[in-house]
């Protein structure tokens, strides 16, 4: 078994940055309902917290040769939009 590196940084409640040796991703959502966006694609997970049961779907970017694979620019724009959305919702509901 080889060594692995993974670090999760919490930016705000429900907003995390995950960093590993394979790259970075953004996770959005509370326990039990999470959306993770990375250069590989979009992963949606729904589960019952504490039970160990969950359901996961994955949508990969650029599988066909004629599809455009989003670069880091698209990833950063998506992350910024999510961050702004959470800021708007936090101000609207006076969270934090």
7's tokens: 């670090």
pLDDT (0 to 100) of residue 11? 85
Q: What whole-number distance in Å separates Cα of residue 41 and Cα of residue 34? A: 14
pLDDT (0 to 100) of residue 3? 85
13's tokens: 């409640």
Tell me the pLDDT of the chain (96 aa) as tens digits: 688 888 888 888 888 888 888 888 888 888 888 888 888 888 888 888 888 888 888 888 766 544 555 566 666 667 777 777 777 777 777 755
Q: For the chain, what are the domain ranges?
A: 6-93
Contact 19, 90 (CB under 8 A): no
Using alpha carbons only, give the angle 10, 14, 16 rounded to the nearest 5 degrees.
35
pLDDT (0 to 100) of residue 65? 46
What distance lies between CA 67 and its chain's CA centroid? 22
pLDDT (0 to 100) of residue 74? 67
């Amino acid at each position: 078994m080889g060594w692995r590196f993974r670090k999760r940084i919490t930016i705000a409640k429900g907003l995390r940055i995950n960093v590993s040796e394979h790259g970075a991703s953004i996770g959005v959502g509370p326990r039990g309902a999470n959306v993770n966006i990375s250069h590989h694609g979009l992963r949606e997970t729904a589960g019952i917290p504490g039970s160990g049961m969950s359901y996961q779907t994955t949508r990969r970017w650029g599988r066909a040769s004629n599809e455009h694979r989003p670069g880091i620019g698209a990833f950063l724009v998506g992350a910024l939009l999510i961050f702004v959305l959470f800021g708007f919702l936090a101000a609207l509901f006076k969270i934090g």
